[in-house]
Structure 1
Amino acid sequence: MKKYILFDHDGVLVDTEFWYFRAGERALADIGLTLDKDRYLRDMAHGRGTWAQARAAGADESVISRQRATRDEYYREYLRAEAIEIEGVIDTLAELSKYVRMAIVTTAKRADFDLIHEKRRIRRFMEFVLDREDYEHAKPHPEPYLTGLKRFGATPAETLVVEDSSRGLSSAVAAGIDCAVVHNDFTASQDFSRATCRIKTLAELTDIIRTGA
């Protein structure tokens, strides 16, 4: 039976993946460029995203720096305005808290994470949160999840990662940790062949943890 769960955040606990893409799409449109979704998803699997396409289109670094800040503003606008809750998350975390210790390991910026959770109840179930400022190498590098293991004092065998992207799955696999991939419409086309299991909703985790499946 697993004793610890390390949750990814975006697309797992809150439905933000599309809005992050949409913010980047708007930021590139401002400078006359189109963000191709399929290429974005392929790049994302390798830890790249919006700016790989901007560079390929010839945008210089000063323009990218300016539009990155614009993208962040657009994203926070969406976080304030859009419905990003995922049904059943709070009930599932409450049930899981009877069996395991939990934490979040996210590539989100701290400012974005704090904005998302100003009025949400998810953090109360987590012993800690590791965001992008808490480690050097982002997913798909194993460092984020290895840092989570160290913080818990846990072994890989005792731990389950929950992800929704192939980038996050690669990070978990590289850290030697079993990974359950939860369905997300935005990332559904990515390669999850190395996942320990695939689930439609977080609610399925309760049986997985209780039965040790």
Structure 2
Amino acid sequence: MTISSSKNSSSNPLSRLAPLEAVFFDIDGTLCDSDPIHFIAFLELLPQIGFNNGVPITMQFYVENFAGKHNDDVARFLFPDDFERGLKFCEDKEAAYRRLSKDKLKPVKGLDKVKKWVEDRGLRRAAVTNAPRENAEMMISVLGLEDFFEVVIIGNECEHAKPHPDPYLKALEMLNVSKDHTFIFEDSAAGITAGVAAGMPVIGLLTGNPEELLLEAKPAFLIKDYEDPKLWAALEELEK
């Protein structure tokens, strides 16, 4: 099923997408509020490597240096002279994250509502993430979304991860849909940058990252969560 709409509304950046074909979702911070759990995992493990002389990092430091970043970049940041040791740290951090997530992971507010909207219209959907596949599949399972996503695209399984456009371009290719009829939900500057570079409008979620940081990446607009009236006004207008 496709959604048709007049294309003369300049106020709604989604209007030009009609007929809508697909919606892509990031996972961390977009489907679930996972940044606080990643932050706890970093707090647990960074002192073990003597980072910052054992002084705990702040949430602001986490957001500026780790949130939405690919683990290769995190590894190089933490161990600029020993990439392999950096990758081992990231593996340990992800294992800690999975352990902590089992009881703490919660969906972003309104996720069920937007999921039903997408399903009711027969739209194609992909999860596109920089998370390792083990993390991505765990989060999708905990959230009960195994049957919702047709494909799960992993950044490190592409030539380049986000903020490069490759993961989103791969999702378009795998679902055989057009960038001119697809939009994206993202929560990080790296993710928004990737989606915009792939030629699609990106709706940014203010689930963890600062508004000014996300705006620099040029999202179509920002929403608090999936119950934000701004989102539903845009979707309603798209369907007219």
TM-score (norm 2): 0.76
Distance 1:39 1:169 in 2: 20
Shift of 1:75: 0.9
Shift of 1:187: 4.7
Give the gaps of 5 or more residues in structure 2: 1-17
Q: What CA deviation, in whole Å up to 9, does each residue of 1:25-52 have, x standing for no partner?
A: 3221112214454344334579465434
Distance 2:116 2:212 in 1: 30
Q: What CA deviation, in whole Å up to 9, does each residue of 1:36-79 have, x standing for no partner?
A: 543443345794654344236xx744543432232122111111
Q: What CA deviation, in whole Å up to 9, does each residue of 1:57-108 have, x standing for no partner?
A: xx74454343223212211111113143223212320122222322211111
Q: Identify which of 175, 184, 199 aligns with 2:223.
A: 199
Which is worse superposed, 193-202 or 8-17? 193-202
The answer to whether the 8 A contact 1:12-1:164 is kept is yes
Q: Which entry has the higher C-alpha Rg, 1 or 2?
A: 2
Distance 1:66 1:119 in 2: 25
Structure 2 partner of 1:209? 235
The answer to whether the 8 A contact 2:187-2:204 is kept is yes
Distance 1:13 1:136 in 2: 24
Structure 2 partner of 1:20? 38
* Structure 1 runs (4+) greater than 6 angstroms displaced: none
Aligned residues: 211
Residues 171-210 of structure 1 mapped to structure 2, 5 A cutoff: 171-188=194-211, 190-193=213-216, 194-204=218-228, 205-210=231-236
- Correspondence 1:55 to 2:79: yes
The answer to whether the 8 A contact 2:23-2:118 is kept is no
What RMSD, in angstroms, separates the aligned Cα atoms of the two structures?
2.6
SS of 1:185's equivalent in the other structure is: coil
CA change 1:163–1:28 in 2 (3 A) is: same
Identity of aligned residues (%): 23
Distance 2:102 2:66 in 1: 24
Q: Identify which of 3, 7, 28 aligns with 1:10.
A: 28
Structure 2 partner of 1:131? 154
CA change 1:147–1:19 in 2 (3 A) is: same
Distance 2:98 2:188 in 1: 21
Residues 75-154 of structure 1 mapped to structure 2, 5 A cutoff: 75-99=97-121, 100-154=123-177
Distance 1:68 1:106 in 2: 16
Give the gaps of 5 or more residues in structure 1: none
Letter in 2 for 1:114: E
Distance 1:45 1:66 in 2: 18
CA change 1:178–1:65 in 2 (3 A) is: closer
Residues 162-177 of structure 1 mapped to structure 2, 5 A cutoff: 162-177=185-200
TM-score (norm 1): 0.85
Shift of 1:157: 1.3
Shift of 1:13: 0.6
Distance 1:72 1:81 in 2: 15
